[in-house]
Amino acid sequence: MSESQTERSSRAGRYQRQLTGYRAFIPTALPPDPPLRIQGELQALLSKADRALGRLDGSVQTLPNPDLFVFMYVRKEAVLSSQIEGTQSSLQDLLAAEAELFDPETKPRDVDEVVNYVKAMNHGLRRLAELPVSVRLIREIHEQLLQGVRGSRLTPGELRRSQNWIGPGGCTLNEASFVPPPPEVVPEALGELERFLHQQDDLPALIKIGLVHAQFETIHPFLDGNGRIGRLLITFLLTEGGILLKPVLYLSHYFKRHRQAYYEHLQAVRDRGEWESWLAFFLRGVAEVSAEATDTARRILALRETHRVAITERLGRAAGNGHKVLEMLFDRPIVKVGDIADLIGTTYTAANNLVTRIAELGILKEMTGYTRNRRFRYESYVKLFSDEPQEDLS
């Protein structure tokens, strides 16, 4: 990076030459100085994002069991956030892995990383009941994320003790597009970020969350997993602040769709202090993803009602047990006959007959092709969380 570039706006921090010759970025503590200009377009985007979040929160509360919506949304986020970091596993792969459908030879190479993401998110959500969003919580989540997978040799849960950098695969430190602060600066920078998180100020909550995400990505405190942890932080902060009663806003879909713009906005903050431009991009994402999630909640209600009617009209005396199975599928979209037998307390044969009848209604789809040890998937529900165009069931 040229000298003239390093002398540009130091609003977000400054580049400092290190002893070995490379330049690392030293972030300035939040909030930005000069203060943010929340007016005009940025004010309008903030209002739109707030309204969209409110509609999402209300629509989720109308679901019979909002936690079932959370179940699948957590998994969709795990897949998308991991794909940004280069994994190839799909939502179908994740669900199959959790249902123990794969043997070691056929299991996708990176699906365990996505499984770990789900574990890390759920761990963080549980811990929020007793621990605020903090450096301690971030380290716990990071340990869960990297346990036993690619990157596990890179000290899970521990702040880095060596320099990292961001750039094309195989690039050297001197060729990097961005070099985060040196390791000795990281603890202090994270401490300042934690203080900013919990200090009382007049900043709107979404503005503050957008600032925190960008600052975390700039500090890049771990040797691996920084992007995934930074995206998880957004959800944790929305939940901790009571902005959403359930953790149902995940921006990885938006960041993946606009990946280049995402990286460019973050870099523009560092190079030129363009906080307002980053926040406008962030708020557009909040509004866009909130609207998509609100629509998904509506489709879940419509799907559930369609299938409840079909079960009532077509299963006769078995309808009661059919409804029990349907509710189970929202929490566990891949099942085997034995699961159904346990749920309704009947014989394997009776459960198998019920599963067959539900499959004939188009609710369940056999996914293994086996005659034994078969697995059935709630296909239309899983598809609601895919990126494919959906038929409107309302």
pLDDT band at 197 (very low <50, low <70, confident <90, very high): very high
- Residue range 238-264, pLDDT digits in tens: 999 999 988 888 899 999 999 999 999
- The residue ranges of every structural domain in the chain are 3-295, 315-383
Going by the DSSP 8-state scheme, the letter that residue 98 receives in this structure is: H
Average pLDDT of the segment spanning 189-208:
96
What are the tokens at 245? 């009663």
Report the C-alpha gap between 254 and 252 in whole angstroms. 5
Cα 324 from chain centroid?
29
Long-range residue pairs from 305-312, CB within 8 A, at least 24 positions apart, any chain:
306/393, 307/361, 307/363, 310/361, 310/363, 311/358, 311/361, 311/363
Indicate the CATH number for domain 3-295: 1.10.3290.10
Confirm if 270 and 13 have CB atoms less than 8 A apart: yes
- Residue range 46-104, pLDDT digits in tens: 999 999 999 999 998 888 788 877 888 889 889 999 989 888 888 888 888 888 777 66
Cis? peptide before 108, omega within 30° of 0: no
pLDDT at 182 over 80: yes
What are the tokens at 52? 């969209």
Q: Which residue has the tokens 């994402």?
A: 285
DSSP-assigned beta bridge partners for residue 377 = 334, 365
Of the listed ranges 66-70, 88-92, 281-285, 348-352, the one predicted with least confidence: 66-70
Report the C-alpha gap between 27 and 317 in whole angstroms. 66
Tell me the torsion sign for CA atoms 350, 355, 360, 361: positive
Report the C-alpha gap between 55 and 64 in whole angstroms. 17
pLDDT at 393 over 60: no
pLDDT at 152 over 60: no
Tell me yes or no: is domain 315-383 CATH 1.10.1750.10: no
